Amino acid sequence: MAEANRDQIEFWSTTQGRKWLRLEDRIERMMTPFTEAGLAALGDIAGKHCLDIGCGAAGTTLALADAAGDAGSAAGIDVSPPLLKRAWERADGRNNMCFAEGDAQDYAFRDDTFDILFSRFGIMFFRDTPAALANLRRASRPDARLVFIVWREPRDNPWVMIPVSAAKAFVELPPRPAPGEPSQFQWADPGLATGWLEGAGWRDCRFDPLDIALDMPGEPLEAARFLLQMGPAAALLAEAGGDLAERAETALAEKLVPHLRDGAVTLGSACWIVSAQAG
Ligand SMILES: C[S@@+](CC[C@H](N)C(=O)[O-])C[C@H]1O[C@@H](n2cnc3c(N)ncnc32)[C@H](O)[C@@H]1O
């Protein structure tokens, strides 16, 4: 595995992977509209061989396998053993799915294998994204399509920024990674990202905006707890100990009250659906 991605591999194999599994049901419900939008962007993929990049617990790999049908297949790659264990459990009994543990940046895929390369938020953590895109291109058939969903700028994502602004009053958050660094917002700038894609042999690159209002089930306090666990403050609040996490949750819950719609906290989110063609 690429030495460069060691931090992310460690993060997703331990704390973040375990947290993701603990919150799996809620996350999967929240992510369903993104899966639907991604599949709509792919169109008919019956009979196609698909790769799910950073597949996690296989929420989207299952959807790809269903859409590809028995004549097609879906393979997932991820660096996180606990998430892959869950992925294998969910795939039990399906004969058109498999998973590999590895770093998509340098995994030794067979050349010319995939018709469809897809990712829902699993392609944002490479230290060397151009190298990862070239590796994925090598694994693609000549007419392959790459489609993935990534976040736009933080300012367009109140579901991230409102919790961050509440948490800041209690813990010192790490500085935002520079543009292009591995992070949730690595792909926010289409100008920078188009250069990466084209340099790695992908053409006809498109960045289509996808705006989805995220419903957080439960009362504002429950939503606050969920959002703080998901975000960058989680480990810092837990380490700080005492009642800091509870105070941060209460402060965030107050900020969420104005966002209550029909009994659910609803916050805006903004993504790109990026698509490109092997070329
Ligand atoms: C935000 S999660 C998304 C998981 C999944 N795509 C989903 O939507 O449920 C990011 C995923 O990317 C994986 N990941 C991070 N760096 C990776 C790498 N270099 N190669 C493969 N997977 C990676 C993580 O382990 C994690 O499962």
Give yes or no for residue 54 CB within 6 A of ligand 1. yes
By alpha-carbon position, which residue is closest to atom 13 of ligand 1?
54
**Eight-state DSSP code of residue 178:** P
Domains of the chain: 3-154+182-212+270-278 (3.40.50.150)
pLDDT at 246 over 90: yes
d(CA 65, CA 256): 37
Atom of ligand 1 nearest to the CA of 27: 9
The string of pLDDT tens digits covering residues 184-232 is: 999 999 999 999 999 999 999 999 999 999 998 789 999 999 999 888 7
- 17-41 per-residue burial string, b: 16 or more CB within 10 A, e: under 16: beebbeebebbeebbeebbebbbeb
The string of pLDDT tens digits covering residues 77-118 is: 999 999 999 999 999 989 999 999 999 999 999 999 999 999
Q: Which helix (H) or strand (E) holds 101?
A: strand 97-101
User: pTM for the complete prediction?
Assistant: 0.95
Atom of ligand 1 nearest to the CA of 107: 20
pLDDT at residue 240, as a whole number:
82
Atom of ligand 1 nearest to the CA of 35: 8
By alpha-carbon position, which residue is closest to atom 1 of ligand 1?
121
- Ligand 1: residue of 14, 62, 80, 123 to mutate (most ligand atoms within 8 A of CB) is 80
CA triple 156-221-149, angle to 5 deg? 30
Contact yes or no for 41/64 (Cβ under 8 A): no
The string of pLDDT tens digits covering residues 15-64 is: 889 999 999 999 999 999 999 999 999 999 999 999 999 999 999 999 99
- Ligand 1: residue of 7, 21, 55 to mutate (most ligand atoms within 8 A of CB) is 55
pLDDT at residue 1, as a whole number:
47
Q: In the beta sheet, which residues pair with residue 213?
A: 268
275 or 231, greater pLDDT: 275
